[in-house]
Amino acid sequence: MKTLTVKKLAEISGVSVRTLHYYDQIGLLRPSIRTEKKYRLYGNDELLRLQQILFFREMDFPLKDILEMMDTTDYDLVKALMQHKSALLNRKRRISDLLKTIDTTIDNLKKGETMKNPEELYKGFPEEVGTTYRKEAISKYGVQTVEQSEKELMKLGKSGVEALQKEMENVFSELFVLKNDNPESDIVQEHIARHYGIISKFWGDSVVSDQKPDAYAGLGDLFVNDERYLANVTDGSPQPEFALFLQKAIKYFAENNLEK
Partner DNA sequence: GTATGATATGACGTAACGTTAGGGTCAAAT
Partner DNA sequence: ATTTGACCCTAACGTTACGTCATATCATAC
Integer Cα distance of 223 and 244 in angstroms: 8
Residues that bind DNA (rule: CB under 7 A) add up to a total of 21
CB-nearer residue toward DNA: 21 or 151: 21
85: partner contacted, choices DNA, its own copies, none (Cβ within 5-8 A by kind): its own copies
φ, ψ for residue 104 (rounded to 5)? -65, -35
Residue 99 near its own copies by CB under 8 A? yes
- Contact with its own copies (CB under 8 A) among 82, 143, 154, 208: 82
- Contact with its own copies (CB under 8 A) among 26, 33, 48, 187: 48
Part of the chain binding its own copies (CB under 8 A), chosen from 28-36, 64-72, 89-97, 183-191: 89-97
- CA 248 to chain CA centroid, Å, is 16
Per-position x/- string for 213-242, each x denoting binding to its own copies as judged by CB under 8 A, each - no binding: -----------xx-x----------x-xx-
Find the angle CA(210)-CA(189)-CA(90) to the nearest 5 degrees. 45
Q: DSSP letter string over 23-71?
A: HHHTTSS--SEE-TT--EEB-HHHHHHHHHHHHHHHTT--HHHHHHHHH
Integer Cα distance of 239 and 228 in angstroms: 10
From 80, 89, 33, 39, select the one nearest 61 (Cα to Cα): 80
19: partner contacted, choices its own copies, DNA, none (Cβ within 5-8 A by kind): DNA
Find the angle CA(156)-CA(141)-CA(225) to the nearest 5 degrees. 85
Find the angle CA(106)-CA(108)-CA(113) to the nearest 5 degrees. 105
- Contact with DNA (CB under 7 A) among 22, 30, 179, 205: 22
Q: Which residues are at the interface with its own copies (CB under 8 A)?
A: 12-14, 44, 47-48, 50-51, 55, 58-60, 77-78, 81-82, 84-85, 88-89, 91-92, 95-96, 98-99, 101-103, 105-106, 109-110, 157-160, 162-164, 166-167, 170, 224-225, 227, 238, 240-241, 243-244
Q: Which residues are at the interface with DNA (CB under 7 A)?
A: 5-8, 15-19, 21-22, 35-40, 57, 62-64
